[in-house]
Structure formats: C-alpha cells, structure tokens
Structure 1
C-alpha cells in the first residue's frame, strides 16, 4: 500500500515537472537563446541545440509526461481500490482525485511556472533534456511515424506539437530570406500578440476620456466633437461612472443640418445609441471579433470592481496590427526613429524595446542586453523609463541603461497636461568602452 502511494505521488510530481519544462521550452525564442549563448550564460549552448530541434525535444517530453501520468493514474486507482469499498466508490474517488490533480497541478501550477520562468527553467534542464532526447530518439521517431500512419490524411513530419513560437520564428526566417518585408513581419507578429494583449493595454483610460452629458443639446455635442477631434463620444448621466450611451457625429449632424436653431432643440439623449460594455481583461482578438459581429466601433471597458476603466475603439485595435492610423485631421507626427548622429536617435515613446534592439544591432552591430525582469515588465521605451524611475516619466527625466542614456521629451497636450512623446537615446561612455573591448577581442 505505502509503496503504491509513493509510486503514485512520485509519478504525478514527475509529470508536473515535465509539463513545466515542456511549457518553458515551447515558449522561448531562438534569438533570445542565441543572445544568451553570446553572453556565455551557463547552459545556453545546450539550450540552443534544443531549440534548433524543438519539435523533437517537445515530443520526448510529451512521451515522458504521458508515461508518468499513466503510471500515476494506474497506481492511484489501485490505492483507491484498496482504501474504498465498494468498488464503485473506489472508481469515483480515483476519477475525482485524478481530475483535480490533472487540472490544478498539471494544468494550472506547472504551466504557470513554465510560462513565468521559461528561460531559467529551460537553461537548468537543457543538458538533461538533450541526453533524454538521444536515448529516446528512436522511440520518438517510431511513435510519431506510427501516429501519422493512423491519422486520417496523414500527420506532420515532426509531430503535432508545433507552437506559436515556432510560427513566429518561421516569420523571422522568411524575413531574413527576403520572402516577407520588415513591415509585413511586424504585422504578422502583431496578429499573434493580439491574443496575449488585453483591452486595458491599448484603451483610453477614464481620466483621458472625452464625454458629454445626456442633457446637453446637439449643438453643444457638435462643438465638442469639433474641438476634441472625436466622431464618437460616450454619454454620461449623473457621473462618468453612469455611462448611458454613445453619440455619433453623423447622427448629430443629421439632426442639426436642417434646423434653424443649430440643434439646440434636440437633446443628446434623444439621438444617442446603446453602448457596449466589456471587461478590460478581454483579449484584443476576441474583442475585435465581437465588435465586427455586433458592428460596434466603440466599447466601454469595465474593471474587476465594476467601475469604468476607459474606452476602446476598433481603430485602437487595428493600430496594434498595422501601426498608427492618421487621418487628414491628425497632426503630422515625427518618424518613429530619427537619426541624430553618433549612434544617437530620437524615437517615439511607444517604440518597442525589440525595435530598439533591432535598430542598434543592424545599424551598429551592437547587441543591447536587457535583464529578464525588465523584459517581463516593460514593452516600450517609455515603459523602460517608468520602470527605472519608479514613477511616470516627465519631460526632462532620464535614465542610463544598457550603455545608453534615455531622456524623455514632450509638451502639453490639448488638455494642458505634460505628455512624453519622444525619447532621445544616446550612447554613454559605457557604450563606447564595450565597443572598444569588442574590437580588441576581434
């Protein structure tokens, strides 16, 4: 009895550990691993070999995990048969315990750990995983071959465990070979990112919303639309927490065009439309699909406490894919990257760290290295400023990081608030000293 319990527990723990490693290995980027290898991080050489043949190693992990799960399930059933009478209660107990363990440990806990610490886990297990792949390689090929035979229409040569990360790498390779352009690659990668990006990331937060009271007349609504530059405005009742609808500029114009009083005789509440409320945690791909189906161009976002968090338009979501969309009335913006000479640049505050790394790699042959803690928390240049400062950056704020000095630039917006719009990135003495060290070694 005790032996069976020990075997069941050990098998399930091993299954959970293998699931963690599988999730971690499936979630790492080959480019990032190559960077770790150049930095001579322990285990990076072995891990690079793993990601170069990722499908094979993931297949081996799946085989081992399935074996451990099977052993754990059988021994757990045997333990339950000895502990419970009659037999049907033993079966019920085994099913309940196995379902709970599978969901909580194999599903939630192990996968969460794998996604939160992909590189540290992969580096720590790369050598052992490479060894297991060599030992179980023939078995893995045999099982994949047999599985493809019994699959209607045939299967995949490397097995069915391809991941989104592999698809991303395929896009990167396609760009390197000239099959797709840089902008096309960025758009494809952005489509992948939609599922991982929540609406709150791109929303207009509540303090920045432009709204109008329901008891105002249409003439005032037209004036506000012209002044703010928005063609759709949320309509509030007693407070901004009481959003009762959305007003469209074209609806207001239809009501005021032929009237001699300039629309003062028509209240906003008479022409407003119903508004859509969605949680601010909703993924952008799901939200875009919903807005297309319901033919809504604007939605009000609600936070976890039921309060208004902000609003989002379909244009905000599309800009995540294709970049900034400017119409004839938007002010001309600076280029995302403006060279200033001597490896210095003026970049838009929302420029991604990935684009900054790519810029210095292509233009100067320098690999900028950011700590995992930073890349886990920060996506943009302005985000890096805020993270290092520990507060919202203001124009004139600066930090030094990765051999570069980041200085915030900005001005007052239409509501008189200071906004960081661009960041000047310039090399420091550390940047040039590292460059000299690199030249000396070569």
Structure 2
C-alpha cells in the first residue's frame, strides 16, 4: 500500500511539474512565435496557434492542474507519514517539510526555468493536453474565477488575475534593472501597453491645427498650398471647415500637373481621394491595425455630434510608442535672437510674458500663452511660412509708444510642419498720437499693453 501511495505521489508531482512548465511557457508565447512555427512547418503548430490565440484560458487551466496535483500530493504524503510515524505532530511536520521541498524545487524552480528557456517546445507539448482538456474543464475554471471574484472586495478580473498587465510591466522593469534591456526599450514596451488604453482623440491633430483647402480651389492652388505648408496630405473641405469631403495627396497633384499642364485649372475635388472617418473614442491600437490592414495612412476623426474633431495619421499613433519623430532639418534654436532695430526672431513656444520683457511692456492674453498661439489667434487660421499679422496693443502713456507688434511666421520643422520661429517687429504710433503729459511722470516704468480685438490684414 505504501508503494502504491509513493507512486501516486510521484505521478502527481510529475503532473504538477508539467503544469508549472506549461505555465511558464504560456506566459512567454506570442502570436508571432506561433505564426513562425506554422511557417516553419513545426509539428503541433496548429495547436500552438490555438493556444496563442487565447493564452489566458489555457494558463488558468494549467494553474488549476498544478494546484490540484500539488494539493493531492500533499494529502497523500501526509497520509503516508501518519501511517509511518506514531506521533501525529511529527508526521505532519515531516509531511510539511517534504512538500515544501518538493513544491519549491520540483514544481517551482525546475519547470519554470525550462518553460522560460524553451517556451515554444513546452507550450506545444502542453497544447496536446490542454486544448482537449479545456473543452471539459474550461467551464470549471471560469466558475472558480467567478467565485474568487465574488469573495474579493471590489471589481475582479473576468478572466482571472493570473496574467495581468501589471505583472508584465513589473517583469519589464525588472529586466531593465538587471540590464537585460535598455531604458528606452523599457519605456517603449510600457508605451505599447498604454496604447491599448489610448483613445484617438488623445493623439489626433485637432481641427484648429489643420491646414485644409476648399473643394472649389484649383489643383494649382492646392499644389501651392502643399508646397508652402510642407504637408503631403491635405483635407478638402466642402461647405465649411467642419465638412471634410476628401483628402488630396501631393503626389496625385504633382502627377496630374506633370502629365498635363492644363490640369492646373481643374478643381481639387477631381484629384482628391475618399476620406476615412473614425470616432474620436476609438482605441488607438485598434485603429493602427485597421490602417495597416487597409493600407491607409490618414483618417478623419469625428466627435459625438458628427462634426470634425481632427485628423490622425499612422505617424501620430507610432509617436505614442517611439516618441517624437523628427527629421534631419530639425535643430535646436535659441529662444530669442536679436536682429537689430528692435526686431527679434523668437521661437513659437516663447511665453508672451517673455516677449513683453523684450519691448519693456506687460503682454497678456486670456486665450493664449505663447507667441505662436497669439499669431494663430490674430490670423484666424493655422499659420504657414510667410503669414503676417499685426497684433494691436492698448494705448499707453508714452511719447512714442508701441501701436502693435507685427508677427511673421518664418521657418517650420517637425513631421507636422509646425511653425518654430516667428519674426517680431515693433510698430510705433505716429508722433501726433503719442503726446501725453502724463508720460513725463512714468518714463522709467514699464508700460502695460494687452492685445485687443481689431481688424487686421493677413497674407498666406
């Protein structure tokens, strides 16, 4: 009888060993590895693909088998020790020590090491048992998970907590601390996880920053706008800026003009392509896969009311993973460059307060905080190189005070071709308008000026 019990214990420990090995392999298997096994004609690749498609289901089953085998082995060892030793406490102590050693070494360390070193082999072997067994014991694991969630305070995990995203994130951080991966790689992996929780509206280019063209414009005008703005894909609008009817590509415009010079006078709608529309609540990761599948690089984002919320491209989504994408023309610029005669070249990000200090005034606006924002606000549209606007200033007590600041958009850079430098020139009031007796009492104090609404002319 004792021999039979020992053989049963060995069999249960072996089952627990295999289940633990399968757990470790399942945690490292991916759909890519499964597809690679299919392409290589590996035996059992079809079952491996089935497991990789729903790894959590089979991971829960492997966990159930391991726990059941360990528990049964512990009961049999305890029963054997009770029959062998006269003292109950002595028998339980020996049983505890034996199972502790077996669980840690034979079920914990050894199989997990093998599973991590050879995930494809172990998972393929386990698939022959787990796939048919899941049809029988699958409902049981789900029932046990529901029972565990019912006993857990708060909201539980529908598929169980055994393969959570938090554990994978912790593994990535641990790998970086042990110098197995670089810090940039760790951050990229975390970005991939975060992409699954990112909505399209969080990464899109908002409608206020879009450079668009009316469908009534000609191909020549569209080509000019594309070359001046630096964008290769431009939305085409219908009745209003909120009505996007298509997307025009620079290569399509150039192709038409190259084929026939008379095509320059055709309307841009003749060269535009249909636009793809997506809701602003769509998952960014799902959209990336759809754009890859449909060979689409740009999509129009609509809000809950059906209006245009913005535009999103594949590059916008990829930037959420790899960071800002720049080109060889990007360079670090000083925030302020003095050009003489009271003129300055400043970056678009320069704060309005810092700009005011250059001209000894207090510059403030309730709607914007940067020079680039002020330029766009006064212009009334997205600025492109050459766009000029006069930002009027409130009158102040000075003999020759400032009437306005002339802002001229200069260079652009980055994948989105944003304006990065702006030329700022002071415009003085005529001498007849600056005579103010009160100015004699405040020559040395900074004059407070605020931009005020006024008609202005702007050129693109």
TM range (shorter): 0.3 to 0.5
Larger radius of gyration: 2
TM (norm. structure 2) is 0.40
